[in-house]
Amino acid sequence: MELLFRQDAYEKSCDATVVGADEAGIRLDRTVFYPTGGGQPGDTGYLTLADGGRVRIIDTRKGQDHEDVVHLPEPGSGLPIPGAKVTAEIDWDRRHRFMRMHTCLHLLCAVVEGEITGGQVGDGKGRIDFNLPDTRLDKEEIAAAINRIVAEDHPVRPRWITDEELETNPQLVRTMSVKPPMGFGKVRLLEIEDVDLQPCGGTHVRSTGEVGRIQVTKIENKGRQNRLINIAFLE
């Protein structure tokens, strides 16, 4: 399966051929639908058939391997037959909000130093859980630091490197906030110029300016060490 969102997160639709369909989900030969992963929800949208009929997709999940994407149809939908040509179109406004918030959470990682233990991209809001014992965190300071990077409008781009390139450029790992997974031949990195570099397979906006201004809504203490930093869009 060709995963078009990996190369260009701004592709809203694509032509595709159905390779399998049952109540558990629909598989295509290529797709723009992002499956739930990395704290980001799966896409919703429509598959439109050649006769104009539409199948509502209510969620997208990973299948058996990391190249396998399963489109979940609304219960009771008529299913397309294998070989059918469809146009796959995501709910773009929703996805774009996820792209903005996902990118914003990279900025949060860049301004708060600490081990990350979890996170969630929501619609208009997001959260990262840090392991931060004995640290004083200030909502206003964190928000101001992120909004400064937003205002500076840094370019954001994916960057693929091979395991070998990584091994011959050890300084690259030191600049990364998270160690990349090795052993798959190549690694997809997300680079926010002059701000952050880390392995990530998610969808992002093209520059930090597109994130828009944010606020830190609350910082929750869970246990002695866990600090949950919650963010929401200001506009």
35 binds Zn ion (CB under 5 A): no
Please give the residue whose beta carbon sits closest to Zn ion in the complex: 200
In the complex with Zn ion, which residue's Cβ is closer, 146 or 200? 200
Q: How far is the CB of 199 from Zn ion (least distance, A)?
A: 9
Question: Least distance to Zn ion from the beta carbon of 47, Å?
Answer: 26
| Shortest spacing between CB 88 and Zn ion, in angstroms | 22
Task: Rank residues 47 and 190 by Cβ distance to Zn ion and give the closer one.
Answer: 190
Question: For residues 146-162, b (16+ Cβ closer than 10 Å) or e, as one string?
Answer: bbebbeeebebebeeee
User: In the stretch 180-199, what mask flags binding to Zn ion with x, by CB under 5 A?
Assistant: ----------x---------
Q: What is the Cα–Cα distance from 216 to 52, expressed in whole angstroms?
A: 44
25 binds Zn ion (CB under 5 A): no
Would you say 4 or 200 has its CB closer to Zn ion? 200
Q: Which of 174, 158, 41, 156 is nearest to 107 (CA)?
A: 156
- Least distance from C-beta 19 to Zn ion, angstroms? 28
Residue with tokens 């630091």: 145
Taking the complex as a whole, the smallest distance from the CB of residue 98 to Zn ion amounts, in Å, to 11
Q: Which is nearer to Zn ion, 107 or 200 (CB)?
A: 200
Binding status of residue 41 toward Zn ion by CB under 5 A? no
Give backbone dihedrals phi and psi of 75, rounded to 5 degrees, phi first: -55, 140
Give dist(CA 115, CA 66) in Å, integer: 25
- Cα 228 to Cα 19, 137, 139, 217, 221, distances in angstroms: 42, 11, 11, 11, 6
**Contacts of Zn ion in 131-190 (CB under 5 A):** 190
Among 69, 107, 202, 229, binds Zn ion (CB under 5 A): 202
> 3-state DSSP helix/strand/coil percent for the chain, to nearest 5?
25, 40, 35
Q: Are 122 and 228 in contact (CB under 8 A)?
A: no
Q: Which is nearer to Zn ion, 48 or 203 (CB)?
A: 203
**First-residue to last-residue Cα distance in the chain:** 36
Residues that bind Zn ion (CB under 5 A): 190, 200, 202
